[in-house]
Amino acid sequence: MGKNIVQKIFGAHLVKGELKKGEQVSLRVDEVYTQDATGTMAWLQFEAMGLERVKIPCVVSYVDHNMIQSNHMNPDDHLFLQTAAARFGAWFSKPGNGICHQVNLERFARPGWIALGTDSHTPTNGGMGMIAIGVGGLDAATVMAGMPFEMKMPEVVLVRLTGRLKRPWVTAMDVILELLRRLTVKGGVGKIFEYGGPGVSDLNVTERATITNMGAELGATTSVFPADDRTAHFLRAQGREKDFSALGADDDAGYDDVVEIDLGSLEPLTAQPHSPDSVVPVREVAGRKVNQVCIGSCTNSSYQAMRAVASILRGKRVAEHVSLHINPGSKQVYEMIARDGSLSDMIAAGARMLEASCGPCIGMGGSPGTGHVSVRSYNRNFRGRCGNKDAFVFLANPLVCAAVAVKGEITDPSGTEIPVEEFSEPDTVIVNDNMLIAPLKDGSGIEIIKGPNIKDVPLKDPVGDEIRAEVLIKLGDNVTTDDIMPAGSQILPFRSNIPAISEYVFYNIDPTFAERAKKAKGHGGGIIVGGENYGQGSSREHAAIAPMYLGVVTVIAKSFARIHRANLINFGILPLSFSNAEDMDRIESGDVLVISGVRDALAASQQYRVTNATKGFDFTVVSDLSGRERDLMLSGGLLPFVKTRLS
Ligand code: MIC
Ligand code: SF4
C-alpha cells in the first residue's frame, strides 16, 4: 500500500518505533520555536540542562504575547529571551515582528519538516506541508537539547475536499468551523488530519494555514496539507523557492478514517459563545447587536484577507457603538497593507490598529465590556479568555467580521450588495527581516540577563508510595487551560514567576482555590477532578507547574487533552482516569482520597485502588503512561530525568 503524507514525513524522521497507530515513536525534529509567554519557562529549563548550545538545526524565539509593557516585567522577559537566544544559538524575532505562527510560515516553514512549537497553534505550519506540533516548554527544551521527540503514533484522518469555496464571503475559516461543528472540540484527540482531494488546489497556503491553525480546536495532534504548486508559489514570493519540495500522498495511501467536505456547500459560519464548536450559520444569529469586532491574530492575518477587509471598510464608517480592533499577524503583512493604502482605508473607517501581536485574542488589551458582544476572526472564544468572563465572543471569518463592524450587528453579507474585492496570494511580498536576529556562531560570552520577575522553575519530589490528598475542585467536561491558568493583562506578565502566577489558578472559577490548595499542601496535597477532555486548548505548562507548586499531586479525569496530559507528567502530576466514569458522581470537593502502592502500580499494572476516606467507598482508576512517562513520574518529572541523562 502507498503512503500518506504523515507516514512519509514521520518515516523520514523516525529514530525509533514503528509507524503503527498507538505505538510509541521517537522522531528527529528540524525546528523548534518558542513564544514569550511559554518561552521564558522553556529557556529557563534549557539553561538548567547546562548545555552550551541548542543541538538542532533551527531554533527561533518569538515575542508576541506579552507586549503591553505596563511595567518592567514584559521588557525584562524580552531581554531575557533575546540574551538567551544569543547565548544558546537561536534566532530571535523582536517584539513587533509578528505572531510566531504567521512569521514562521512566512520565513522558516518548509515542506517535509517536523517542527515543535511551545504553542498549541504551531500546526499553522501544516499549511506548508510539514508536521508541526504544539508542545509544552519542557518538551521543547528537551528536543533543543538534542533528544528525539517521543509520542504515541496518532490516527491519520483524511479530510477529502471537493468543490470550490463560494468566494468571497465564504473563506477557509468556514471550512474549519464546519469541521468543528461536525467533530466537536474533542473530535480530533489522538488524530492527525491530513487534507487531500481536488478541493485542496482551491486553497492557497495562508488559507490552508487558517485551517491547520484552528485544527488545534479539534484537539488534534496536528493537521497537514500537501506541498504543491501553490506552496511553491508562496515560497517563491517569499524569496525562498529553494526551500520547496513537492509532497503528496500516494494514490493508494491508506487512512484510519475519512471525512468529506464539499467546499461549495459551505456558507458563512460562526462559533457562538463560549466554545469554538458551538457552530451555526451566521444567518441564524443575524441581527444581534455587536459592541466590538476584532480582526487578525494567527488565524486570519494573510495579506489578501487584510486587503479584502480594507476593501469592505473603504469609504465606510465603523458603526457608532462598535469598536473595531485589527491586529495583523506579521510585520510583513503590516508593511504591505501600509504601502498599498489598505491601512489608510482601515484607519479612515475608524479601526483601532494594534501592533502585530496576539493582543485581544489572549486578553492583552481590547477586552469587551460587561455583557458586550464581540465578533472575532480568532480561534478561541472560551469564557473569560478575552479578559471579561461576562462578555460574549463569536468567531467568524474576517470578511464577515468587517461587514459586522460596519453594520453594527451580526450579519451574513453573502448575497448582499456590500462591496468587497477579492485578492489572490501575491506573486511577490516585502521581505524585510530587520527584526529577525540571526544566531551567533559562538554565544559563549553572552550574559543572560534576568529581571527581578524571572524566577527559577520549581521542582517536585518523585511521586510517593501513598497519595492521601483532598479533592480541591470538581469540574465538568472540556475544562480549558484558560480555566486552569487564566491569561489576560493582569496575569500573563507573571509567566516567568511561578510563585506569583500560582495565586491565580482557577481564578475565574473559584478565586479561593489557591488559598485552599496551599492549606491542603501541608496535609498531603490536593487533587483535581475533571470530566472529558480535561486541559483542552493552550500548551501553557503553567496549567501544570502552578498547580504542582500549590501541592496538587494528581488529576483524576474521564479523559485528558494531549498537550496538557504531557505537561502534567513532565511536572510530576499523575494523570489518572476513572475505570468507571460514574464513580465521578460519588466524589465531592472536600473528600479525602487515599491511593496506596502508587509506585508499584505505576511500574506494573497501572491500576490503582482509591479509597474515599470521607465517604467510605472504594473505586479504581488507571493510568496509561508509556515506559518513558513512567520513568519521568518516578524521577519527579522531565527536568530531573533529562538532567541525569545529559550528565
Ligand atoms: C493561546 O492561544 O491560548 C496561547 C496563548 O497562544 C497559548 C500559549 C500560551 O498560553 O502562552 C497556546 O495556544 O498554546
Ligand atoms: Fe496568539 Fe491568539 Fe494565536 Fe494564541 S491563538 S498564538 S494568543 S494570536
Going along the chain from its start, the domains and CATH numbers come out as 5-265 (3.30.499.10), 269-415 (3.30.499.10), 466-646 (3.20.19.10)
Query: Is 36 a pocket residue for ligand 2 (Cβ < 6 Å)?
Result: no
Ligand 1: which residue has its CA nearest to atom 10? 540
Q: Where are the alpha helices (DSSP H) in 53-122?
A: 73-88, 100-107
* Contact yes or no for 354/326 (Cβ under 8 A): yes
> Which residue reads 522531565 in cell numbers?
638
pLDDT of residue 115: 98
pLDDT of residue 263: 98
**Bridge pairing between strands 607-612 and 617-622:** antiparallel
pLDDT of residue 646: 78
pLDDT of residue 415: 86
First to last CA, the chain: 44
Query: Is 300 a pocket residue for ligand 1 (Cβ < 6 Å)?
Result: no
Q: How much distance in Å is there from the Cα of 65 to the middle of ligand 2?
A: 7
- Return the ∠ at Cα 381 (arms to 568 and 61), rounded to 5°: 55
pLDDT of residue 591: 98
Residue in 34, 104, 121, 382 to alter for ligand 2 test, most ligand atoms within 8 A of Cβ: 121
Convert the pLDDT of each residue in 559-618 to its tens digit: 999 999 999 999 999 999 999 999 999 999 999 999 999 999 999 999 999 999 999 999
* Contact yes or no for 356/98 (Cβ under 8 A): yes
Low-confidence ranges of the chain (pLDDT < 70): 647
Model-level pTM?
0.98
Q: How much distance in Å is there from the Cα of 462 to the middle of ligand 1?
A: 28
Residue in 121, 124, 485 to alter for ligand 1 test, most ligand atoms within 8 A of Cβ: 121
* Contact yes or no for 139/209 (Cβ under 8 A): no
Find the Cα–Cα–Cα–Cα dihedral 384, 389, 392, 393, rounded to 10°: -10
Cis link prior to 111 (omega < 30° from 0)? no
Neighbours of 441 (CB within 10 A): 6
From the list 488, 468, 270, the residue with the least C-alpha distance to 365 is 488
